[in-house]
Chains A and B, each alone.
Chain A
Amino acid sequence: MKQLLQLISAAGLALTIVPPIIYFNDAITRETQNGLMLVGAIIWFATAYFWLGSKWKSKS
């Protein structure tokens, strides 16, 4: 389950960084880029919550 979540999270990150590269190469519009990046953000936060951030506790 954790691995599946990590895979979906990675897809969320990919949707954050890949659309601007495609937009830069003139293959999509700015609106599409912005929309895909927003979807990427939602996917990342919705899935990373369940597997990231539980181990390390700040000791400061």
Chain B
Amino acid sequence: MKVKSISKKLDALYEFDREPVRKDSLQGIGNFLGSFAGEHVAGTEFVIGMLFVAHGVSVADMFIGGLIGNLLAVASWAFITTPIAVKARLSLYWQLKKICGPVLVFLYNIVNALMFCFLAGAMVAVSATAVGIPFKVEMPTLTDLYPTSIGWVVTVFAVGAVITTFAILGFEKLARFSKMAAPWMFLIFLAAAIASFSTLGIETDLSNFWEVAHSKIWTGEALEGQSQFSIWHVIFFTWFANAAMHLGMSDLSIFRYAKKWQYGFASGVGMFLGHYVAWIASGILYAAATSDAPGEVAYQAIGIAGALCVIIAGWTTANPTLYRAGLALQVASPGWSRWKVTLLAGLVTTVAALFPALVMKLLDFVALYGLVLIPMGGVIFADFYLMKKWNLQNYYAEKMNINFNWAAGLTWFLLLGLSLVLNMWFGIELYFLPLPVWVLSIFLFVAFSKIYQKKTVL
């Protein structure tokens, strides 16, 4: 495909936000609070809290580590992402295009789309664990990586087909439904945890809550076949669970509508309701259950309402994700209409969902998702704050009319290669890589730009 054609298609896709946001389009703090509260109480929360328990997180790890990790995540949004967003007032796409050029942004879009497909796939699988209950489908367990039964395959395909159909029809109405479901879903998390108290032997005056928490929920000992987590795992996972959004700068697209940089603190609502209270709640209900499948776990605690919540949580997370994957992949297709591309993305998503590994290894996938995209956030950060200080040109691709900024491309590829080496050969877990990779991306981009920009007369 020709570069001009790629560039034209990308521009058409993001046409509506080509210019910086105008003053009269800025949004109040309420919209950001609502948006974060809605987006971060999602299907993934059912799985993450449960996996922390399986990985042998202790009570202190969960409560203190979770608190520190979430504070760091909020600080990342407030002090790193939002100040750039309110000064540049550009979406991630346009910011990246100005720095990197259309070809590199095209590559970024494809990688992002694939990540979206796998994330949506995990949510299809989560929904399937609830849909399969009345049909007595054999549910996957923590150690299952491959499809476990014909019933599981049929259920996943049925859920995938429904979710893909809705994504093809557009997601405006679904976004409304998603917003509507958020307060109810949050209460379901709380309710399911409370309903599990008596099963765990917690007294009605809660006098033995901490004792039970130590002995039956966050025991500090990993289940068989699961790696042992420490407080550092909890801190780093929690901090970087949304790495692509804060240090990776995806949320520039949202916060460019903020009146002040302080609106970045609105992320705290999503973090503490979704990534703290909901994770703790899902850990409690998992400890009381006799299954590893999120749908079954919620059903055992509160019946049909629980299973319904798992279906809705998975569905409302998968649908916009699949829709965005379709949009991103549209650029790479040879002139296909959006429905065809979304259908293809839905197929990829559904096939991925067949593998329970996507759910049971969700922590690794979420960490990988952030890790893959975070170097480009470092590039944006360096371009915004450091280029002029180092006598370099910012928005280099736009100013020089180049299609591929090698300084940015090399930064990205090298760091992904380095991460692979550190993970596979040196055994450094994925959760600990995003921070050094982000810091390195800033230095490398400036250093490579120093060499790369010398070749071009400004």
Q: Residues on A close to B: CB < 8 A?
A: 12-13, 16-17, 19-21, 23-26, 30-31, 33-35, 37-38, 40-41, 44-45, 48-49, 52-54, 56-60
- Give CA–CA (A23, B180) in the complex, Å: 27
User: B386: CB under 8 A from chain A?
Assistant: no
A interface secondary structure, majority: helix
Would B308 and A53 count as touching, CB distance under 8 A? Answer: no
Chain A residues in 8 Å Cβ range of B31 = 56
Chain A residues in 8 Å Cβ range of B257 = 59
* Interface segment out of the listed B106-114, B193-201, B351-359, B433-441: B193-201
Would B305 and A56 count as touching, CB distance under 8 A? Answer: no
Would B187 and A13 count as touching, CB distance under 8 A? Answer: yes
Q: For residue A44, which residue of chain B has the nearest CB?
A: B184
Task: List CB contacts (< 8 Å) of B167-217 with chain A.
Answer: 172, 175-177, 179-181, 183-184, 187-188, 190-192, 194-195, 197-198, 204
Would A13 and B305 count as touching, CB distance under 8 A? Answer: no
Partner of A58, one of B175, B184, B306: B175
- Give CA–CA (A37, B307) in the complex, Å: 12
Would A34 and B180 count as touching, CB distance under 8 A? Answer: no
- Give CA–CA (A44, B179) in the complex, Å: 12
User: B304: CB under 8 A from chain A?
Assistant: yes
Partner of B198, one of A23, A41, A49, A58: A23
Given contacts A26-B204, A58-B35, A59-B253, contact A33 B180 (CB under 8 A): no
Most buried by B among A12, A35, A38: A38
How many residue pairs between the two chains, A and B, have CB atoms under 8 Å in the bound complex?
90
Most buried by B among A34, A35, A45, A59: A59
Would A34 and B302 count as touching, CB distance under 8 A? Answer: yes
Would A24 and B34 count as touching, CB distance under 8 A? Answer: no
Q: For residue A25, which residue of chain B has the nearest CB?
A: B204
Given contacts A33-B302, A34-B305, contact A20 B192 (CB under 8 A): yes
- Give CA–CA (A2, B195) in the complex, Å: 32
Would A13 and B254 count as touching, CB distance under 8 A? Answer: no
Query: How far in angstroms is the closest Cβ of chain A from B184?
Result: 5
Task: List CB contacts (< 8 Å) of B137-190 with chain A.
Answer: 172, 175-177, 179-181, 183-184, 187-188, 190
Would A23 and B184 count as touching, CB distance under 8 A? Answer: no
Would A38 and B184 count as touching, CB distance under 8 A? Answer: no
Partner of A19, one of B172, B191, B256: B191
Chain A residues in 8 Å Cβ range of B27 = 59
Would B195 and A24 count as touching, CB distance under 8 A? Answer: yes
Q: For residue A13, which residue of chain B has the nearest CB?
A: B187
Chain A residues in 8 Å Cβ range of B181 = 45
- Give CA–CA (A34, B305) in the complex, Å: 7
Partner of B302, one of A20, A25, A44, A49: A20
